[in-house]
Structure formats: structure tokens, C-alpha cells
Amino acid sequence: MSVSAAIDEVWATFVATRRPELRDELIVEYAHLVRFVVGRLGIPPTSILDQEDLISYGVIGLINAIDRFDPSRGIRFEAFATPRIRGAVIDQLRALNWLPRSAVTRVRQVESALAELEQRLGRPAREAEVAQELQVSIGRYRQMLQEASTMILSLDAPLSALPADDSVASLADLLEDLGAPGPAEHFEQYETLRALRDAIEQLPPREQMLLSLYYQEELTMKEISKLLHVSESRICQLHMQAILRLRSVMNVCQSAQRVERRKRQRLKVGSI
């Protein structure tokens, strides 16, 4: 019997009986998935949290996924469990009040400086230019990115650092199929994706490569650091900088879409 067939049989028996020993067997079978997800969260090596603590939080999400998974729906368990593992880790970090207010302030300062500079210059701002705009040294600017990098773990982060309402999407949401949108929503999604694509193309080549390796090739920060021959902390800094650049562009895009949506609503009301 193949490994895949054996696991399918374990799943079928577990769903039918909920025997604890089968749950333990499934936990062991998919334990590698927890390490993979935690590795991709981009938690910097200077974190005060131990890697094993993060993995233990992820195991909670894995157990929850095993208990809720229904193989008859035809979904791969890995796809079902990954967001639950990631969510369990992030929820625990939030519960521990891990991110200080100062980190939030630094994110807003850097994001604002990047947006203003790149609008003024018409190109990606260099580190030295951003540091000068913030009136800090390049070393301090890199330290700010490092200290704040734990806030933005991936493209799942909200597009806006200061969301005006609950409808603010994440970059990952823009790539998901949310059903069958109407013509207006479809056009807005197309415009947003085009803006995201253009924004990525405007990034410096090294940041484009980093995003490609991280989000397309699914390499961990550690693997990327070895590939690019720089430290893992430097990769975290570059990742944060790239995401902030994208967020500043996408915030402008979303604001324009909201204005256009209000115009359409007023025209629709006026025509009634």
C-alpha cells in the first residue's frame, strides 16, 4: 500500500471514529507543515521568542485543522491547514501583546516617508534618501525596519496601516477568487491587480527577486539569505521595505477606488 493510500485510510478511519491514537498519528504525519509555515512567517532571528514556542503555537492550529478537516470535500489537507496554523501563531503573538506601540509608530513613519519620497522622485527611494527624510542614519533606518518587521509578516497584512473601516483588504485578498463579482467590482479588482503588478515592477531588482523567492518559490527567509549572500536580518529589512513600498502605492489605489465608488453611487441614486 502506498504512503498516500495509507494516510487516506487513516483519515477515513479517524473521521468515522475520532480515535485519539489516530489523531496523534496525523499530528506526527503533518508536523513538518508547522515548521514550514513558521519558517515562512519571517520572524527575525533577534526575536525574544524561541522558535520552539512559535512551533508549539502552530501545533495548536494543526490540531484544530485535523479536528475540523473533512476529506470528502476534495480539498488538500495542506491547503486547509496552512492558514489555520499561521492564524494560531499570529493569534498567540497578539495575545502576548508582542508588538509594542513604538513598532507601530515606526511602521507609519517609514511608510509615510517612502510614499512622500517616491511620489516626489518618481522612482523607488534609496535607503540613504529615506534615512535623510526621517532624519536618521542609514544604520538607524535599517534598525527601524528590523524592529518593525515583525508587524508585517506576509502579504496577508492589511493594505492600510490605518484602516478607515473593516472593508480594507490585504494584498493576498487581491489574488483570491471571491466569487462572481459584478462588472464594477470586476473592473475595480482588475485595476487593483494592475496597480499591484505595476508597483512590483517599479521595485528595485533585489526587492523584486526577494518577493519572487518568498511568495512564488516559497523559500524561507533563511534560505533566501543564503541564496543572496546577505544576513537573514538584512532579508527581513528588505522584505519590510518592499511591502511598505507596495502598501503606499495600493493605499492610493484604494482611495481612488473609494472616490469612484461614491461617484457611481451618487449617479445611481440621482437616476432613480
Higher pLDDT among residues 225 and 272, named by residue:
225
What is d(CA 195, CA 109) in angstroms, rounded to the nearest whole number?
23
Report phi then psi at 174, rounded to 5: -70, -20
Query: How distant, in Å, are the alpha carbons of 51, 62, 94 from that of 100?
Result: 20, 28, 10
Residue listed under C-alpha cell 542609514? 138
CA distances for 35 relative to 20, 38, 149, 156, angstroms? 23, 5, 20, 19
Is residue 61 within 8 A of residue 86, CB to CB? The reply is yes
Tens-digit pLDDT profile for residues 73-122: 888 898 889 888 988 887 777 666 555 666 667 777 887 888 788 778 87
The predicted model gives 52-61 an average pLDDT of: 87
Average pLDDT estimate for 124-141: 89
> For residue 172, what pLDDT is reported?
56
- Global pTM value: 0.45
User: Where residue 27 falls among pLDDT bands split at 50, 70, 90?
Assistant: very high
Q: Which three cell numbers stand for residue 209?
A: 527577486
The structural domains of the chain, ordered by start, are 3-95 (1.10.1740.10), 101-155+168-270 (1.20.140)
| Whole-number pLDDT of residue 66 | 93
pLDDT in tens, 155-197: 554 444 434 444 445 555 555 454 555 666 777 777 778 888 8
